[in-house]
Structure 1
Amino acid sequence: MEAGARYPSVFVVDGPQRDVPFVPPVRRHQKTWPCCQLILGVLMLLILAGLGIQGYFLICFRKELDRATAEENAEATHEKFVQDHKPAPEKPAAHLTGASFTASGNSTLQWEHTLGLAFLQDMGYKGGSLICNKPGHYYIYSKLYLGNSGCPHNEQKNMWVVHSIYKRTPRYPEDRPLLINNILYCNSKDSTFWWHNSFLAGVVQLEENEEIYIKVSERQLVRIKDEFKSYFGAFMI
Protein backbone atom coordinates (compact mmCIF):
# COMPACT_ATOMS: atom_id res chain seq x y z
CA MET A 1 0.00 0.00 0.00
CA GLU A 2 1.07 3.55 -0.44
CA ALA A 3 2.92 5.26 2.33
CA GLY A 4 0.61 8.30 2.45
CA ALA A 5 -2.61 6.34 2.68
CA ARG A 6 -4.75 6.66 5.81
CA TYR A 7 -6.26 3.70 7.54
CA PRO A 8 -9.80 3.81 8.79
CA SER A 9 -10.40 3.96 12.56
CA VAL A 10 -11.02 0.63 14.13
CA PHE A 11 -13.82 0.38 16.77
CA VAL A 12 -13.87 -2.61 19.01
CA VAL A 13 -17.28 -3.55 20.23
CA ASP A 14 -17.62 -6.11 22.97
CA GLY A 15 -20.11 -8.78 22.36
CA PRO A 16 -23.15 -9.27 24.66
CA GLN A 17 -22.40 -10.95 27.95
CA ARG A 18 -24.90 -13.46 29.20
CA ASP A 19 -26.04 -14.28 32.77
CA VAL A 20 -25.05 -10.89 34.22
CA PRO A 21 -27.75 -9.46 36.57
CA PHE A 22 -29.07 -6.03 35.91
CA VAL A 23 -28.71 -3.64 38.84
CA PRO A 24 -30.88 -0.52 38.53
CA PRO A 25 -29.35 2.70 39.57
CA VAL A 26 -30.15 3.87 43.08
CA ARG A 27 -31.96 7.13 43.25
CA ARG A 28 -31.19 9.47 46.08
CA HIS A 29 -34.80 10.40 46.92
CA GLN A 30 -35.63 6.74 47.85
CA LYS A 31 -33.65 7.13 51.07
CA THR A 32 -36.35 9.44 52.50
CA TRP A 33 -39.12 6.75 52.45
CA PRO A 34 -38.34 5.19 55.89
CA CYS A 35 -38.68 8.61 57.52
CA CYS A 36 -42.02 9.23 55.81
CA GLN A 37 -43.31 5.80 56.82
CA LEU A 38 -42.39 6.51 60.46
CA ILE A 39 -44.27 9.81 60.41
CA LEU A 40 -47.31 8.17 58.82
CA GLY A 41 -47.24 5.40 61.42
CA VAL A 42 -47.15 7.92 64.27
CA LEU A 43 -50.06 9.82 62.73
CA MET A 44 -52.08 6.61 62.39
CA LEU A 45 -51.40 5.76 66.03
CA LEU A 46 -52.54 9.21 67.12
CA ILE A 47 -55.72 8.91 65.05
CA LEU A 48 -56.49 5.47 66.51
CA ALA A 49 -55.81 6.73 70.03
CA GLY A 50 -58.17 9.67 69.45
CA LEU A 51 -60.89 7.36 68.18
CA GLY A 52 -60.43 5.08 71.19
CA ILE A 53 -60.69 7.97 73.67
CA GLN A 54 -63.75 9.31 71.87
CA GLY A 55 -65.37 5.87 71.96
CA TYR A 56 -64.63 5.55 75.69
CA PHE A 57 -66.30 8.88 76.48
CA LEU A 58 -69.27 7.96 74.29
CA ILE A 59 -69.69 4.68 76.18
CA CYS A 60 -69.49 6.50 79.54
CA PHE A 61 -72.04 9.05 78.36
CA ARG A 62 -74.37 6.30 77.17
CA LYS A 63 -74.13 4.53 80.53
CA GLU A 64 -74.95 7.73 82.41
CA LEU A 65 -77.85 8.40 80.06
CA ASP A 66 -79.21 4.86 80.52
CA ARG A 67 -78.86 5.14 84.31
CA ALA A 68 -80.65 8.49 84.39
CA THR A 69 -83.39 7.11 82.15
CA ALA A 70 -83.78 4.02 84.35
CA GLU A 71 -84.04 6.15 87.51
CA GLU A 72 -86.60 8.39 85.86
CA ASN A 73 -88.63 5.37 84.73
CA ALA A 74 -88.41 3.80 88.21
CA GLU A 75 -89.57 7.03 89.83
CA ALA A 76 -92.42 7.33 87.34
CA THR A 77 -93.39 3.69 87.97
CA HIS A 78 -93.36 4.26 91.73
CA GLU A 79 -95.50 7.39 91.39
CA LYS A 80 -97.92 5.51 89.15
CA PHE A 81 -98.09 2.65 91.67
CA VAL A 82 -98.86 5.09 94.49
CA GLN A 83 -101.48 6.85 92.42
CA ASP A 84 -103.09 3.58 91.35
CA HIS A 85 -103.22 2.25 94.92
CA LYS A 86 -104.14 5.47 96.66
CA PRO A 87 -107.60 5.13 98.18
CA ALA A 88 -110.14 7.08 96.21
CA PRO A 89 -111.94 9.82 98.14
CA GLU A 90 -115.29 8.08 97.72
CA LYS A 91 -114.01 4.74 99.08
CA PRO A 92 -113.71 3.91 102.79
CA ALA A 93 -110.19 3.77 104.21
CA ALA A 94 -108.46 3.98 107.59
CA HIS A 95 -104.94 3.94 109.00
CA LEU A 96 -104.30 3.61 112.74
CA THR A 97 -100.93 4.08 114.40
CA GLY A 98 -99.16 3.16 117.62
CA ALA A 99 -100.48 0.50 119.94
CA SER A 100 -101.66 0.18 123.53
CA PHE A 101 -104.00 -2.14 125.44
CA THR A 102 -107.52 -2.00 126.73
CA ALA A 103 -108.16 -1.06 130.32
CA SER A 104 -109.51 -4.53 131.02
CA GLY A 105 -106.05 -5.99 130.34
CA ASN A 106 -107.03 -8.36 127.52
CA SER A 107 -104.98 -8.91 124.38
CA THR A 108 -106.92 -6.48 122.15
CA LEU A 109 -104.81 -3.55 120.98
CA GLN A 110 -105.86 0.09 121.07
CA TRP A 111 -104.77 2.56 118.37
CA GLU A 112 -104.34 6.23 117.65
CA HIS A 113 -106.99 7.21 115.08
CA THR A 114 -106.86 11.02 114.83
CA LEU A 115 -103.31 12.33 115.34
CA GLY A 116 -100.17 12.13 113.19
CA LEU A 117 -100.44 9.75 110.26
CA ALA A 118 -103.70 8.25 111.49
CA PHE A 119 -106.99 8.97 109.72
CA LEU A 120 -110.51 7.63 109.28
CA GLN A 121 -112.35 7.96 105.95
CA ASP A 122 -115.92 6.67 105.99
CA MET A 123 -115.00 4.08 108.62
CA GLY A 124 -115.66 4.07 112.35
CA TYR A 125 -113.42 3.35 115.33
CA LYS A 126 -114.40 2.09 118.76
CA GLY A 127 -112.46 0.24 121.45
CA GLY A 128 -109.59 -0.79 119.16
CA SER A 129 -111.89 -1.94 116.32
CA LEU A 130 -112.39 -0.55 112.84
CA ILE A 131 -116.09 -0.49 111.96
CA CYS A 132 -117.26 -1.04 108.40
CA ASN A 133 -119.86 1.46 107.19
CA LYS A 134 -120.05 0.33 103.56
CA PRO A 135 -120.07 -3.36 102.56
CA GLY A 136 -117.46 -4.60 100.09
CA HIS A 137 -114.05 -6.21 99.72
CA TYR A 138 -111.36 -4.66 101.89
CA TYR A 139 -107.60 -4.97 101.97
CA ILE A 140 -106.66 -5.11 105.64
CA TYR A 141 -103.14 -4.98 107.06
CA SER A 142 -101.34 -4.88 110.38
CA LYS A 143 -97.69 -4.57 111.41
CA LEU A 144 -96.34 -4.97 114.93
CA TYR A 145 -92.84 -4.24 116.15
CA LEU A 146 -92.05 -6.75 118.89
CA GLY A 147 -89.03 -6.69 121.15
CA ASN A 148 -87.60 -7.38 124.58
CA SER A 149 -84.37 -6.51 126.37
CA GLY A 150 -83.74 -10.13 127.26
CA CYS A 151 -84.90 -13.69 126.65
CA PRO A 152 -86.86 -15.72 129.20
CA HIS A 153 -85.35 -18.51 131.27
CA ASN A 154 -84.33 -21.72 129.54
CA GLU A 155 -87.46 -23.53 130.60
CA GLN A 156 -89.57 -20.85 128.89
CA LYS A 157 -87.65 -20.58 125.64
CA ASN A 158 -89.13 -21.41 122.25
CA MET A 159 -92.55 -20.01 123.14
CA TRP A 160 -94.76 -18.61 120.40
CA VAL A 161 -96.16 -15.13 120.01
CA VAL A 162 -99.49 -15.06 118.12
CA HIS A 163 -100.37 -11.96 116.09
CA SER A 164 -103.87 -12.10 114.59
CA ILE A 165 -106.66 -10.08 112.97
CA TYR A 166 -110.19 -10.87 114.15
CA LYS A 167 -113.66 -10.02 112.87
CA ARG A 168 -116.66 -9.34 115.05
CA THR A 169 -120.02 -9.71 113.32
CA PRO A 170 -123.66 -9.82 114.44
CA ARG A 171 -124.12 -12.93 112.30
CA TYR A 172 -121.94 -15.13 114.57
CA PRO A 173 -121.94 -15.42 118.35
CA GLU A 174 -118.15 -15.57 118.58
CA ASP A 175 -115.42 -13.52 116.96
CA ARG A 176 -113.72 -15.16 114.00
CA PRO A 177 -109.99 -15.04 113.17
CA LEU A 178 -109.18 -13.76 109.68
CA LEU A 179 -105.35 -13.77 109.58
CA ILE A 180 -102.86 -15.31 112.02
CA ASN A 181 -99.07 -15.13 112.30
CA ASN A 182 -97.11 -17.32 114.74
CA ILE A 183 -93.69 -15.96 115.74
CA LEU A 184 -91.03 -18.01 117.51
CA TYR A 185 -89.87 -15.94 120.46
CA CYS A 186 -86.23 -16.03 121.61
CA ASN A 187 -85.12 -19.26 119.93
CA SER A 188 -81.53 -18.65 121.08
CA LYS A 189 -80.82 -18.86 124.81
CA ASP A 190 -77.71 -16.69 124.43
CA SER A 191 -79.64 -13.72 123.02
CA THR A 192 -79.45 -10.54 125.08
CA PHE A 193 -81.96 -8.63 122.96
CA TRP A 194 -84.79 -9.94 120.82
CA TRP A 195 -86.86 -8.07 118.23
CA HIS A 196 -89.13 -9.07 115.39
CA ASN A 197 -91.51 -7.47 112.84
CA SER A 198 -94.80 -9.25 112.31
CA PHE A 199 -96.88 -8.32 109.27
CA LEU A 200 -100.33 -9.51 108.24
CA ALA A 201 -102.33 -8.53 105.15
CA GLY A 202 -105.15 -9.92 103.05
CA VAL A 203 -108.44 -9.25 101.29
CA VAL A 204 -111.68 -9.98 103.16
CA GLN A 205 -115.39 -9.38 102.65
CA LEU A 206 -116.91 -7.02 105.20
CA GLU A 207 -120.56 -6.23 105.73
CA GLU A 208 -122.04 -3.13 107.31
CA ASN A 209 -121.41 -2.80 111.09
CA GLU A 210 -118.85 -5.60 111.12
CA GLU A 211 -115.66 -4.88 113.08
CA ILE A 212 -112.04 -5.91 112.70
CA TYR A 213 -109.41 -5.67 115.43
CA ILE A 214 -105.90 -6.87 116.38
CA LYS A 215 -104.92 -9.33 119.10
CA VAL A 216 -101.47 -10.40 120.30
CA SER A 217 -100.79 -13.17 122.81
CA GLU A 218 -97.75 -11.59 124.54
CA ARG A 219 -98.75 -7.96 124.85
CA GLN A 220 -95.65 -6.99 126.87
CA LEU A 221 -93.53 -7.57 123.76
CA VAL A 222 -95.32 -4.94 121.64
CA ARG A 223 -93.32 -1.71 121.34
CA ILE A 224 -96.19 0.72 121.86
CA LYS A 225 -96.62 4.32 120.75
CA ASP A 226 -94.59 4.15 117.53
CA GLU A 227 -96.58 5.22 114.46
CA PHE A 228 -93.90 4.06 112.01
CA LYS A 229 -93.28 0.56 113.37
CA SER A 230 -96.72 -0.55 114.58
CA TYR A 231 -99.90 0.22 112.64
CA PHE A 232 -103.24 -1.17 111.49
CA GLY A 233 -105.46 -0.21 108.57
CA ALA A 234 -107.88 -1.11 105.82
CA PHE A 235 -109.24 0.25 102.55
CA MET A 236 -111.92 -0.81 100.10
CA ILE A 237 -110.69 -2.20 96.77
Structure 2
Amino acid sequence: MSLSLPGAMEGSSRYPSVFVVDGPARGAPFVPPVPRSQKTRPHGQLFLGLLVLMALAGLAVQAYFLIRFRKELDKATAQGAAQASHERLIQDPRPPPPPEKPGAHLTAASFTVTGNDTLQWEHQHGLAFLQEMGYEAGSLICRKPGHYYVYTKVSLEHASCSTVPQAIRLVTHSVCKRTPLYPREIVLLTNIVPSCGTETWRQNSFLAGVVQLQEKEEIYVKVSQAQLVRAKDGTRSYFGTFMI
Protein backbone atom coordinates (compact mmCIF):
# COMPACT_ATOMS: atom_id res chain seq x y z
CA MET A 1 0.00 0.00 0.00
CA SER A 2 1.33 3.53 -0.89
CA LEU A 3 0.20 6.94 0.44
CA SER A 4 0.65 10.42 -1.15
CA LEU A 5 0.67 13.64 0.85
CA PRO A 6 -1.88 16.25 -0.26
CA GLY A 7 -0.46 18.98 -2.40
CA ALA A 8 2.59 17.14 -3.30
CA MET A 9 1.91 17.53 -7.00
CA GLU A 10 0.99 21.20 -6.76
CA GLY A 11 4.20 22.84 -5.64
CA SER A 12 7.51 23.10 -7.32
CA SER A 13 9.16 21.01 -4.66
CA ARG A 14 8.44 17.33 -4.47
CA TYR A 15 8.52 15.09 -1.53
CA PRO A 16 9.56 11.47 -1.79
CA SER A 17 6.89 8.91 -1.76
CA VAL A 18 6.44 7.06 1.47
CA PHE A 19 5.98 3.29 1.21
CA VAL A 20 4.64 1.22 4.08
CA VAL A 21 5.17 -2.49 4.11
CA ASP A 22 2.61 -4.48 5.91
CA GLY A 23 4.08 -6.71 8.73
CA PRO A 24 3.15 -10.30 9.29
CA ALA A 25 -0.37 -10.97 10.28
CA ARG A 26 -0.81 -11.33 14.00
CA GLY A 27 -2.36 -14.46 15.54
CA ALA A 28 -0.76 -17.04 13.14
CA PRO A 29 0.17 -20.36 14.89
CA PHE A 30 3.86 -21.10 15.63
CA VAL A 31 5.13 -24.51 14.53
CA PRO A 32 8.37 -25.57 16.32
CA PRO A 33 11.01 -27.38 14.30
CA VAL A 34 11.05 -31.20 14.56
CA PRO A 35 14.29 -32.65 16.05
CA ARG A 36 16.22 -35.02 13.78
CA SER A 37 16.14 -37.81 16.39
CA GLN A 38 12.33 -37.82 16.40
CA LYS A 39 12.26 -38.08 12.65
CA THR A 40 14.45 -41.25 12.65
CA ARG A 41 12.75 -42.99 15.65
CA PRO A 42 10.10 -44.93 13.63
CA HIS A 43 12.89 -46.56 11.58
CA GLY A 44 14.71 -47.79 14.75
CA GLN A 45 11.55 -49.28 16.22
CA LEU A 46 10.86 -51.10 12.96
CA PHE A 47 14.37 -52.54 12.97
CA LEU A 48 14.01 -53.80 16.57
CA GLY A 49 10.66 -55.36 15.73
CA LEU A 50 12.23 -57.23 12.82
CA LEU A 51 14.99 -58.57 15.10
CA VAL A 52 12.42 -59.83 17.64
CA LEU A 53 10.40 -61.52 14.88
CA MET A 54 13.53 -63.21 13.52
CA ALA A 55 14.48 -64.49 17.02
CA LEU A 56 10.98 -65.91 17.56
CA ALA A 57 11.07 -67.55 14.17
CA GLY A 58 14.43 -69.18 15.00
CA LEU A 59 13.08 -70.56 18.29
CA ALA A 60 10.04 -71.95 16.51
CA VAL A 61 12.19 -73.72 13.91
CA GLN A 62 14.46 -75.13 16.62
CA ALA A 63 11.50 -76.44 18.62
CA TYR A 64 10.08 -78.07 15.49
CA PHE A 65 13.30 -79.95 14.75
CA LEU A 66 13.69 -81.01 18.39
CA ILE A 67 10.17 -82.47 18.41
CA ARG A 68 10.86 -84.37 15.19
CA PHE A 69 14.17 -85.69 16.54
CA ARG A 70 12.46 -86.87 19.74
CA LYS A 71 9.80 -88.72 17.78
CA GLU A 72 12.37 -90.43 15.56
CA LEU A 73 14.46 -91.43 18.60
CA ASP A 74 11.44 -92.94 20.40
CA LYS A 75 10.48 -94.83 17.27
CA ALA A 76 13.97 -96.25 16.79
CA THR A 77 14.22 -97.25 20.46
CA ALA A 78 10.87 -99.06 20.37
CA GLN A 79 11.84 -100.92 17.19
CA GLY A 80 15.21 -101.97 18.66
CA ALA A 81 13.61 -103.26 21.87
CA ALA A 82 10.98 -105.21 19.96
CA GLN A 83 13.62 -106.76 17.70
CA ALA A 84 15.84 -107.75 20.64
CA SER A 85 12.87 -109.30 22.48
CA HIS A 86 11.89 -111.21 19.36
CA GLU A 87 15.43 -112.55 18.93
CA ARG A 88 15.52 -113.73 22.56
CA LEU A 89 12.22 -115.53 22.12
CA ILE A 90 13.50 -117.25 18.99
CA GLN A 91 16.75 -118.35 20.63
CA ASP A 92 15.22 -119.55 23.92
CA PRO A 93 11.48 -119.22 24.55
CA ARG A 94 11.94 -120.07 28.25
CA PRO A 95 13.78 -117.89 30.77
CA PRO A 96 17.05 -119.43 32.02
CA PRO A 97 16.76 -121.16 35.40
CA PRO A 98 18.53 -119.51 38.34
CA PRO A 99 21.95 -121.01 39.09
CA GLU A 100 21.89 -123.50 41.92
CA LYS A 101 24.85 -124.11 44.18
CA PRO A 102 25.30 -127.38 46.06
CA GLY A 103 24.11 -127.38 49.66
CA ALA A 104 22.58 -129.52 52.36
CA HIS A 105 21.04 -129.25 55.82
CA LEU A 106 20.60 -132.31 58.05
CA THR A 107 18.68 -132.47 61.31
CA ALA A 108 18.68 -134.66 64.39
CA ALA A 109 14.95 -135.20 64.68
CA SER A 110 15.70 -138.84 65.38
CA PHE A 111 19.18 -139.91 66.37
CA THR A 112 21.17 -143.06 65.80
CA VAL A 113 24.91 -143.55 66.24
CA THR A 114 27.21 -145.96 64.48
CA GLY A 115 29.99 -147.85 66.21
CA ASN A 116 32.65 -145.23 65.35
CA ASP A 117 30.70 -142.34 66.99
CA THR A 118 29.50 -141.00 63.62
CA LEU A 119 26.08 -139.36 63.95
CA GLN A 120 23.25 -140.35 61.64
CA TRP A 121 20.97 -137.55 60.41
CA GLU A 122 17.53 -136.95 58.98
CA HIS A 123 18.04 -135.89 55.35
CA GLN A 124 14.58 -136.01 53.74
CA HIS A 125 11.86 -134.73 56.08
CA GLY A 126 11.15 -131.59 58.07
CA LEU A 127 13.81 -128.90 57.74
CA ALA A 128 16.29 -131.23 56.06
CA PHE A 129 17.17 -131.00 52.35
CA LEU A 130 19.82 -132.06 49.84
CA GLN A 131 20.78 -130.05 46.76
CA GLU A 132 23.46 -131.39 44.43
CA MET A 133 24.82 -133.37 47.37
CA GLY A 134 24.66 -137.04 48.27
CA TYR A 135 24.01 -138.65 51.66
CA GLU A 136 24.98 -142.08 52.94
CA ALA A 137 25.44 -143.46 56.47
CA GLY A 138 25.74 -140.05 58.12
CA SER A 139 28.07 -138.57 55.45
CA LEU A 140 27.49 -135.79 52.97
CA ILE A 141 29.04 -136.70 49.62
CA CYS A 142 30.46 -133.95 47.40
CA ARG A 143 29.41 -134.01 43.75
CA LYS A 144 30.89 -130.69 42.60
CA PRO A 145 34.42 -129.62 43.61
CA GLY A 146 34.83 -126.28 45.31
CA HIS A 147 35.07 -124.43 48.61
CA TYR A 148 32.29 -125.15 51.08
CA TYR A 149 31.15 -123.54 54.30
CA VAL A 150 30.54 -126.37 56.80
CA TYR A 151 28.64 -125.97 60.07
CA THR A 152 27.33 -128.22 62.84
CA LYS A 153 25.73 -127.75 66.26
CA VAL A 154 24.98 -130.39 68.87
CA SER A 155 23.00 -129.99 72.08
CA LEU A 156 24.51 -131.99 74.94
CA GLU A 157 22.74 -132.90 78.16
CA HIS A 158 23.27 -135.19 81.15
CA ALA A 159 20.65 -135.62 83.87
CA SER A 160 22.82 -137.26 86.56
CA CYS A 161 26.51 -136.38 86.49
CA SER A 162 27.24 -138.22 89.71
CA THR A 163 27.12 -141.50 87.79
CA VAL A 164 29.58 -140.34 85.10
CA PRO A 165 33.21 -141.41 85.71
CA GLN A 166 35.72 -138.58 85.98
CA ALA A 167 37.81 -140.01 83.17
CA ILE A 168 35.12 -139.49 80.51
CA ARG A 169 33.92 -136.01 81.51
CA LEU A 170 35.18 -134.54 78.25
CA VAL A 171 33.14 -134.53 75.03
CA THR A 172 34.85 -134.20 71.65
CA HIS A 173 32.80 -132.76 68.79
CA SER A 174 34.44 -133.00 65.34
CA VAL A 175 33.85 -132.64 61.61
CA CYS A 176 35.86 -135.18 59.63
CA LYS A 177 36.55 -135.89 55.95
CA ARG A 178 36.97 -139.15 54.10
CA THR A 179 38.73 -139.02 50.72
CA PRO A 180 39.78 -141.63 48.16
CA LEU A 181 43.22 -139.98 48.06
CA TYR A 182 44.05 -140.81 51.70
CA PRO A 183 43.46 -144.06 53.64
CA ARG A 184 42.55 -142.45 57.00
CA GLU A 185 39.96 -139.90 58.05
CA ILE A 186 41.00 -136.23 58.23
CA VAL A 187 39.77 -134.04 61.07
CA LEU A 188 38.68 -130.68 59.67
CA LEU A 189 37.10 -129.00 62.72
CA THR A 190 37.03 -130.01 66.37
CA ASN A 191 35.90 -128.81 69.79
CA ILE A 192 36.36 -130.27 73.29
CA VAL A 193 33.63 -129.56 75.83
CA PRO A 194 34.08 -130.32 79.58
CA SER A 195 30.95 -132.07 80.76
CA CYS A 196 29.20 -132.52 84.08
CA GLY A 197 30.14 -129.32 85.80
CA THR A 198 26.90 -129.57 87.81
CA GLU A 199 24.53 -132.37 88.68
CA THR A 200 22.17 -131.53 85.80
CA TRP A 201 24.40 -130.50 82.92
CA ARG A 202 23.53 -128.89 79.56
CA GLN A 203 25.92 -127.54 76.97
CA ASN A 204 26.00 -126.62 73.25
CA SER A 205 28.91 -127.12 70.88
CA PHE A 206 29.12 -125.28 67.56
CA LEU A 207 31.66 -125.70 64.76
CA ALA A 208 31.95 -123.85 61.43
CA GLY A 209 34.60 -123.24 58.81
CA VAL A 210 35.50 -123.19 55.12
CA VAL A 211 36.92 -126.37 53.60
CA GLN A 212 37.85 -127.49 50.11
CA LEU A 213 36.12 -130.59 48.82
CA GLN A 214 36.76 -132.67 45.72
CA GLU A 215 34.30 -134.92 43.94
CA LYS A 216 33.32 -138.07 45.91
CA GLU A 217 34.86 -136.80 49.14
CA GLU A 218 32.69 -137.23 52.27
CA ILE A 219 32.26 -135.12 55.41
CA TYR A 220 30.59 -136.28 58.62
CA VAL A 221 30.19 -135.42 62.34
CA LYS A 222 31.55 -137.40 65.27
CA VAL A 223 30.79 -137.00 68.99
CA SER A 224 32.80 -138.99 71.53
CA GLN A 225 29.91 -139.21 74.02
CA ALA A 226 27.14 -139.57 71.46
CA GLN A 227 24.61 -140.66 74.09
CA LEU A 228 24.68 -137.08 75.47
CA VAL A 229 23.41 -135.57 72.19
CA ARG A 230 19.78 -134.45 72.42
CA ALA A 231 17.47 -134.35 69.45
CA LYS A 232 14.19 -132.44 69.44
CA ASP A 233 12.28 -131.13 66.38
CA GLY A 234 15.48 -130.74 64.38
CA THR A 235 16.45 -127.32 65.78
CA ARG A 236 18.83 -128.24 68.61
CA SER A 237 21.31 -130.42 66.71
CA TYR A 238 22.05 -130.14 62.99
CA PHE A 239 24.72 -130.45 60.30
CA GLY A 240 25.02 -128.72 56.93
CA THR A 241 27.12 -127.16 54.21
CA PHE A 242 26.87 -124.96 51.09
CA MET A 243 29.23 -123.93 48.33
CA ILE A 244 30.63 -120.40 48.47
Shorter-chain TM-score range: 0.5 to 0.7
Query: Aligned in 2, Cα 1:160/1:113: closer, same or farther, shift over 3 Å?
Result: same
Are 2:134 and 1:124 equivalent residues in the alignment? yes
Between the two proteins, the alignment pairs up a number of residues equal to 146
Within 2, Cα distance between the matches of 1:154 and 1:183?
15
Are 2:239 and 1:227 equivalent residues in the alignment? no
Instruction: Name the residue aligned to 1:203.
Output: 210
Within 1, Cα distance between the matches of 2:133 and 2:176?
17
Structure label with greater radius of gyration = 2
Instruction: Name the residue aligned to 1:101.
Output: 112
Q: Name the Cα RMSD after superposition.
A: 1.8
Q: CA deviation at 1:96?
A: 0.2
Q: What stretches of structure 1 move > 6 A for 4+ residues in a row?
A: none
Matches within 5 A, 1:125-204: 125-153=135-163, 156=166, 159-187=169-197, 191-204=198-211
Q: One-letter code of the match for 2:241?
A: A
Structure 2 runs not aligned, ≥5 long = 1-97
Instruction: Name the residue aligned to 1:236.
Output: 243
Deviations 1:181-232 (A, max 9, x none): 0000113xxx231000100000000000000000000011001354000000
Within 2, Cα distance between the matches of 1:155 and 1:97?
30
Deviations 1:116-140 (A, max 9, x none): 0000000000000000000000000
Of all paired residues, the percent bearing the same amino acid is 59
Q: CA deviation at 1:100?
A: 2.0
Within 1, Cα distance between the matches of 2:117 and 2:167?
21
TM-score normalised by length of structure 1? 0.58
Instruction: Name the residue aligned to 1:113.
Output: 123
Within 2, Cα distance between the matches of 1:89 and 1:150?
50
Deviations 1:149-168 (A, max 9, x none): 11134851772100000000
